[in-house]
């Protein structure tokens, strides 16, 4: 959530920044009008309460019954006006919060303009593109031939966009998780297995609600929601908390199964396991002081490149266009890996700097050396999108005979150098 003081004091800057994200300036004006009304109502209520207290004191010192009755009548009129103002004040507060909740974060000035994938700007490249002297197969053809991916039986059991991983496919997943978690632990991230069902508050705090509700699976009877990323639960770790400055930065590496309805993506990436409703992921999440968030963002990005490069994959890093950012992100980098079976670069990881946008909604602060309570900055980044990384490994390391070479970094976890 944006700082209402910034909107109040510098609305033109906010309008210009949000305009890059396609936000109508009228939305900012609507926030300002409600904020002005709320403040006026608060001032009027405070003045009336002061008047009410003053008249109440005068009642006891009234010199005549007539004066006392008049003061009592005036006090009742003031009380009645206060009673009228309170529901309107609550209504305006609710309307203001609703408008603020859907305004996205201000984009970084250096983030590229645009709204689509092709508007992202490449800033780095890693690894070498694999070259084959035989017909390239995609991950599903490879996985089915090896007996490690089964889509038809998953459809029979759960419907479309589900899959079974079997045999060596399962062991490949566990190897990737161990590899990624080991990297993070050595970099000072605390390993976490978080809850995958959360209350509404962490989803709202991370800005997956209210605007992302169509993507969330909800258990209405228990008022719980399945997470689409462990970012939600990791962010909630310090919701309503004040950390000490010497406890920062706090870095977490969360492993979880994730669930997304993928609403609005029907007909897109339906083949194989690239875009499914249930997937596993290792996620990085950092709580840092504001002055450290830019460096932390670059650190997460570099860690992602290190993890993917360590697997011998080829890809590129792109700076995402402002119109394609998630609501909470000020800036986002994606690592897109070359998938030979698709003959294209596809997103495997992303890293976002959310500045104080999530922390304001989560009420997550830290205490400075001067004793001030200051909003934290939060950042998140994918360490390993397991399913998509399996795709990249199968397609990049496929061999003519149908087997798949195991990346050297994973061999100690798998205990073999070949799948098949």
Does residue 84 carry a catalytic annotation? Answer: no
Query: Tokens 């609305």 sit at which residue?
Result: 11
Can you give the C-alpha Rg of the chain in angstroms? Answer: 27
Contact 4, 99 (CB under 8 A): no
Sign of CA dihedral 304, 305, 310, 311: positive
Q: Look at residues 159, 228, 155 and name the one whose alpha carbon lies nearest to residue 194.
A: 228
Helical spans, DSSP H, in 61-138 = 65-102
Contacts of 214 (CB under 8 A, 6+ apart): 261, 263, 264
Which residue among the candidates 125, 347, 367, 405 is catalytic per the annotation? 347
The two three-digit tokens of residue 225, written as one number: 């929601």
Cα of 370 vs its chain's centroid, Å: 31
DSSP state of 150: E
Which residue among the candidates 32, 81, 93, 275 is catalytic per the annotation? 275
- Phi and psi at 380, nearest 5°, equal -140, 155
What string of H, E and C letters represents the secondary structure of 251-279?
A: EEEEEEEEECCCCCCCCCCCCCCCCCCEE
Which residue among the candidates 328, 350, 352, 396 is catalytic per the annotation? 350
Which residue among the candidates 360, 388, 395, 396 is catalytic per the annotation? 388
Give the containing element (helix H, strand E) for 129.
Answer: none
Sign of CA dihedral 40, 41, 46, 51: positive
The two three-digit tokens of residue 344, written as one number: 């294209």
Does residue 260 carry a catalytic annotation? Answer: yes
Which residue among the candidates 20, 250, 260, 331 is catalytic per the annotation? 260
Cβ burial, residue 26 (10 Å; 0-12/13-18/19+): exposed
Does residue 388 carry a catalytic annotation? Answer: yes
C-alpha dist (Å) from residue 416 to 140, 169, 407, 410: 21, 13, 10, 9
Contact 10, 100 (CB under 8 A): no
Neighbours of 91 (CB within 10 A): 14
Residues with a known catalytic role: 260, 275, 347, 350, 388
């Amino acid at each position: 959530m944006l700082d209402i003081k910034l909107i109040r004091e510098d609305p033109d800057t906010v309008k210009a920044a949000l305009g890059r994200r396609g936000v109508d300036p009228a939305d900012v004006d609507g926030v300002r009008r409600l904020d002005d009304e709320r403040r006026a109502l608060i001032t009027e209520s405070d003045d009336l309460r002061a008047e009410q207290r003053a008249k109440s004191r005068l009642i006891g010192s009234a010199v005549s019954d007539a004066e006392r009755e008049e003061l009592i009548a005036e006090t009742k009129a003031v009380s009645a006006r206060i009673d009228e103002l309170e529901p309107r004040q609550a209504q305006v507060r609710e309307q203001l919060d609703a408008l603020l909740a859907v305004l996205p974060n201000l984009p970084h000035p250096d983030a590229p303009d645009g709204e689509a994938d092709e508007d992202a700007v490449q800033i780095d490249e890693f690894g070498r593109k694999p070259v084959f002297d035989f017909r390239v197969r995609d991950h599903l053809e490879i996985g089915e031939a090896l007996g490690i991916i089964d889509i038809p039986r998953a459809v029979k059991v759960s419907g479309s966009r589900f899959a079974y991983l079997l045999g060596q496919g399962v062991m490949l997943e566990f190897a990737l998780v161990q590899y990624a978690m080991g990297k993070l632990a050595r970099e000072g991230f605390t390993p976490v297995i978080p809850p995958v069902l959360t209350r509404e508050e962490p989803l709202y705090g991370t800005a997956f609600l209210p605007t992302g509700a169509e993507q969330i699976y909800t258990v209405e009877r228990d008022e719980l929601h399945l997470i689409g990323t462990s970012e939600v639960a990791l962010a909630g770790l310090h919701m309503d908390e004040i950390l000490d400055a010497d406890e920062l930065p706090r870095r977490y590496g969360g492993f979880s199964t994730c669930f997304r309805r993928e609403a609005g993506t029907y007909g897109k990436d339906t083949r194989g396991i690239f875009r499914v409703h249930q997937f596993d992921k290792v996620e990085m999440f950092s709580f840092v002081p504001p002055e450290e968030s830019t460096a932390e963002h670059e650190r997460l990005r570099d860690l992602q490149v290190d993890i993917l490069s360590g697997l011998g994959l080829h890809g590129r890093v792109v700076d995402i266009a402002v119109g394609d950012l998630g609501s909470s992100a000020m800036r986002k980098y994606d690592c897109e890996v070359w998938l030979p079976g698709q003959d294209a670069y596809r997103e495997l990881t992303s890293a976002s700097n959310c500045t104080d946008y999530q922390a304001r909604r989560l009420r997550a602060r830290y205490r400075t050396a001067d004793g001030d309570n200051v909003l934290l900055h939060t950042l998140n980044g994918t360490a390993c999108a397991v399913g998509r990384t399996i795709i990249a490994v199968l397609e990049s390391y496929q061999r003519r005979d149908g087997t798949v070479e195991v990346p050297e970094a994973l061999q100690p976890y798998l205990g073999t150098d070949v799948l098949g």
